[in-house]
Amino acid sequence: MTDIALLRRTAHYIGGSWVDPAESHSPLVVTDASDGSTLGTVPDGSAADVDRAVDAARAAFPAWAALSPSERSGALLRVRDALAERAADASRIISLEVGTTARIADAVQVGLPLKTLAGFADAALHISEDQQLGNSTVAREPAGVVGAITPWNYPLHQLVGKAGGALAAGCTVVCKPAGVAPLSAFILADAIAAAGLPAGVFNLVSGSGSVVGTALARHPGIDVLSFTGSTAVGAEIAAAAATNITRVALELGGKSASVILDDVELERAVKTSVNNAFLNSGQTCSAWTRLVVPRAAQERVIEIAISVAEKLTVGHPLDPATRLGPLASAEQQSSVLDYIAKGEQEARLVFGGSSAPEGFAEGYYVRPTIFADVDNRSQIAQQEIFGPVLCIIPHDGDDDAIRIANDSAYGLAGGVWCADEGRALAAARAIRTGQVDINGGAFNPIAPFGGFKHSGIGREFGLLGVEEFTELKAIQR
């Protein structure tokens, strides 16, 4: 049972202390995705709270930036250890907020952020040293105060990706977590306090995007604004930040393709692709939601995909038997069901559909759904659905497969399956995305993560994610 104090948060974390909101508002309610009941509450912050947090971060910046890389590295390792002590609570809470199954929450929602923090601690020791270019010394320096606006689908991991990278670089941070799933951000603040980081280095203000998010984006005291979320909101955030010429880093939407070429063994390629598409009930920006397959093999692909989907037992996220939990909110459930209904008019439904799964009158559940004979120009192939929906799209050879993969406004991730290494690498290089996995290559938490086109600007994680929060200075002599 989770301590009620972890679910009923009444204060922001500003300047190294838990402080009451500047204005008296009703708290924001956090919903249990499994049944729609109230899970917890957090403060509904204001622009005044953002002002206080930015002031605290600006005051803390000079001393934090002046620390040696080894001192900042040690601090991040202390945060990792303190967060590890809170891992069970964080995992359970995220499962209920987001709908992630317990097994995936343990391994990905919490386990991955712990690995990422360790990666940032190491990266802090390897920030590029000064370079000599002719009569110029080129130095890399902390950018300043970072505003971090994080999403609800991987709430702790995305926050760690921003705050960890910024702190490793020598920056200070003001964070606004998503209102749908903010509670793990408060657990991270608990860990940072327990780790003894200096006051003001990390600050947390919860609240609505329209108020707190906008205030953070428009604040003249923010040097870098890092946002993860939808492409539409990312464009609004960038426009707001442009008022102060604030540098932005955006990790946005995706409609990634898993491309199967004609020489590969289908079983593993299809199984891995389907499970990737349905990870976290499809609430993953980098999910391979388009499965691009040889036309002659489509019917066999459908058979394998259905056999995989049939094993994705829908259920309560904390039930060990569950393989597919609910979506995070009623709004998300409604949006996904609308897309499925459109798909039933656009393509051939081969599994699932827009009807509710049996036995789940409450909560935000959606059946895993697969469409075949999908036209890549259709809405379900072009728009990010963010739910357990897979589009199978037939191709007519390597060039056609790559054309389909690239025929998208997005460019975040993807996969290539091919027995010939040279052919696979050529296809991977031709697909215009920020990440491509060949034959199921494992996710690498120290590799740069981000996208092309409408999938965003900049990169997160690892050394390159740390350097995203730095500025270059040329000193001539």
310 labelled catalytic: no
| 326/281 Cα distance (integer angstroms) | 7
| 99/11 Cα distance (integer angstroms) | 25
The DSSP line for 262-292 is: TTS-HHHHHHHHHHHHTGGGG--TT---EEE
| 81/117 Cα distance (integer angstroms) | 10
The distance between the two most distant Cα atoms of the chain, rounded to a whole number of Å, is: 74
- Give the closest residue to 157 by CA, choosing from 112, 96, 205, 190: 112
List the structure tokens of 75: 């601090």
Active site residue: 97, 171, 175, 251, which one? 251
Active site residue: 175, 285, 391, 418, which one? 285
Partners of 371 in beta bridges: 349, 391
| 131/321 Cα distance (integer angstroms) | 55
Q: How many CB atoms lie within 10 A of CB 190?
A: 20
Q: How many CB atoms lie within 10 A of CB 434?
A: 23
251 labelled catalytic: yes
Phi/psi at 313 (nearest 5 deg)?
Answer: -65, 125
Partners of 204 in beta bridges: 13, 175
- Give the closest residue to 59 by CA, choosing from 172, 155, 189, 157: 172
Catalytic residue IDs: 251, 285
